[in-house]
A and B are shown apart, each in its own frame.
Chain A
Amino acid sequence: MNKPTPASLWPEIAPEWMLNLPDGLEDFFYKLYKCFIFDDRYMMFVKGLGNTLLLTALALLIGIVLGVIVALVRVSWDKNSAEMHGPGKIILWIANLVSKLYLTVIRGTPVVVQIMIMFFVIFASSRNKIMVGCLTFGINSGAYVAEIIRSGIMSIDNGQMEAGRSLGFGYISTMRYVILPQAFKNVLPALCNEFIVLFKETAVVGYIGLSDLTYAANTVGGVTYEYLYTLVAAAIIYLIFVVGLSYLVGKLERRLRSSER
């Protein structure tokens, strides 16, 4: 028994009207069949998209936690170091130094290099590509989120901190109840944009062989030799998500502005 090929199955599976189309158009449908339907190849795209979304979501989570911590360390050092003394000052000094180093290294090197270092050097013994991907993109995104949140905190008038402190709140409580909620609101659009960038950036996980959406398109293209169809399909899927997210960000921005009145 010969293994069925897309070419051998096509005449049986295609509806009558498709076969009667002019050659060019029929070929178009045939290639769509070959790339996405035959052998359930669309499932590779679905799984790839799933991995892309999972990576983005987990990396976003790590990035925000890391970003808030680094932003708080940087702001606290810049604003309070002059008045501090004792071991607290030394700890903050070290934390600030580490944060600055982190920002410089992460923002100064390509994410592709970062993910390869993570996978082939730091986690060389681990085969958990999702974990390595999340960590890399989380740590990478954290650096950008940190600077976004720091700018948000800096944009809040000093009087807000003074008002909180004069009521009897400590520095950390004032940050929590007064400064951070306002800062977050101000930088929400910028954070959403960072989220969109992160979503697209995850495409480089192919370098460590994790089958995300781009990797799936590349693989199917390699099997069928129809790169045009598979890569354009991947691009369209990315585009749909990005346009959808941008729309939501725009809506959010308008809502925030209207509540300020």
Chain B
Amino acid sequence: MSGNALIQVKDLQKWFKGGEIRALDGVSADIHQGEVVVVIGPSGSGKSTFLRCLNLLERPTGGTITFDGADITDSKCNINVHRQKMGMVFQHFNLFPHMTILKNMTLAPVKLLGKSQEEAEKKARELLDRVGLGDRADAYPNQLSGGQKQRIAIVRALCMEPEVMLFDEPTSALDPEMVGEVLEVMKQLARDGMTMVVVTHEMGFAREVGSRVIFMDSGKIIEENTPGEIFDHPQSERLQSFLAKVL
């Protein structure tokens, strides 16, 4: 099975302060085409670090990550090319405030994929319509609500036509009433067959949409199973106490 994994993580280590803090301590996981992998765990468990290592925003201290058959942790590997195929959505949206929504979405396809401006705009408008923001193409990010910003951030990443989408607590910075609209877009994306890795505290989303749930604590994967097993029959004591607190 591991042979055809889209992303293959082996014994990933991430140390801070020369090993004093081990944010990741030997994490191995495979992510397959079309899977929605949800990573849960208490804060400080290393789940965000794990996600940020997948596209090397965080340089791992040890271990390997294979994406599309290439070892991206190799220092000779041009990570920029691989990142084009890995979309990322951040907790704080990180839209470019000095550009209109349309420019936010077309910048990378035009500069990196060599698309023409018209072609990129057509695709961007299509995606905007799909998330119900077709009329905001010429607005600036500051003129949007948090939920709208996050939906834009998602479609900005989609403009690059990525093979996998990484979500780093996409709803944590949102007002409660705006969480739903963002999750709805993510569910839609999952139904369309997008491969997704999602770090989140939204247990409902994990249960409903996830094809696999990974529970992390102290830089290690404690349990990994289908959502049904994780939530209804947690094995480890650590997961049981975590679920008791969050559910």
Minimum C-beta distance from A184 to chain B (A): 9
Query: Which residues 38-86 of B sit at the A interface, judged by CB distance below 8 A?
Result: 55, 57, 59, 75, 80-81, 83-84, 86
Query: Which residues 100-122 of B sit at the A interface, judged by CB distance below 8 A?
Result: 107-108, 111-112
If the complex has contacts A163-B94, A163-B96, are A169 and B111 also in contact, measured as CB distance less than 8 A? yes
Of A162, A166, A181, the residue contacting B98 (CB under 8 A) is: A181
Interface string of A25-53 (1 = CB under 8 A from B): 00000000000000000000000000000
Interface SS, A side: helix
Of B80, B95, B96, the residue contacting A168 (CB under 8 A) is: B80
Of B98, B108, B140, B143, the residue contacting A167 (CB under 8 A) is: B108
Query: Which residues 182-209 of A sit at the B interface, judged by CB distance below 8 A?
Result: 182, 185
Residues in B with CB closer than 8 Å to A163 are 88, 90, 94-96
Whether, in the assembled complex, A81 has its beta carbon less than 8 Å from a beta carbon of chain B, the answer is: no
B57 touches A162 (CB 8 A): yes
B97 touches A182 (CB 8 A): yes
B92 touches A166 (CB 8 A): no
Residues in A with CB closer than 8 Å to B75 are 85
Of A83, A160, A168, A261, the residue contacting B94 (CB under 8 A) is: A160
Query: Which residues 161-184 of A sit at the B interface, judged by CB distance below 8 A?
Result: 162-170, 173, 177-178, 181-182
- Quick one: which of B86, B87, B111, B157 has the most chain A CB within 10 A? B111
Of B57, B59, B96, B143, the residue contacting A166 (CB under 8 A) is: B57
Whether, in the assembled complex, B142 has its beta carbon less than 8 Å from a beta carbon of chain A, the answer is: yes
Residues in A with CB closer than 8 Å to B83 are 165-168
Residues in B with CB closer than 8 Å to A260 are 142
Minimum C-beta distance from B19 to chain A (A): 15
A160 touches B143 (CB 8 A): no
Whether, in the assembled complex, A159 has its beta carbon less than 8 Å from a beta carbon of chain B, the answer is: yes
Which residue in chain B gives the minimum CB-CB distance to A167?
A: B108
Of A162, A169, A185, the residue contacting B90 (CB under 8 A) is: A162
Which residue in chain B gives the minimum CB-CB distance to A181?
A: B98
What are 20 sample pairs from A and B whose C-beta atoms fall under 8 A apart? A83-B59, A160-B96, A162-B88, A163-B88, A163-B90, A163-B95, A166-B55, A166-B87, A166-B90, A166-B157, A167-B83, A167-B160, A168-B81, A168-B83, A168-B108, A169-B111, A169-B112, A178-B96, A182-B96, A185-B98
The 8 closest A-B pairs by CB, nearest first: A168-B84, A163-B94, A166-B88, A159-B94, A167-B108, A168-B83, A168-B112, A170-B80
Residues of B within 8 A of A (CB): 55, 57, 59, 75, 80-81, 83-84, 86-88, 90, 92, 94-98, 107-108, 111-112, 140, 142-143, 156-157, 160
Residues of A within 8 A of B (CB): 83, 85, 157, 159-160, 162-170, 173, 177-178, 181-182, 185, 260-261
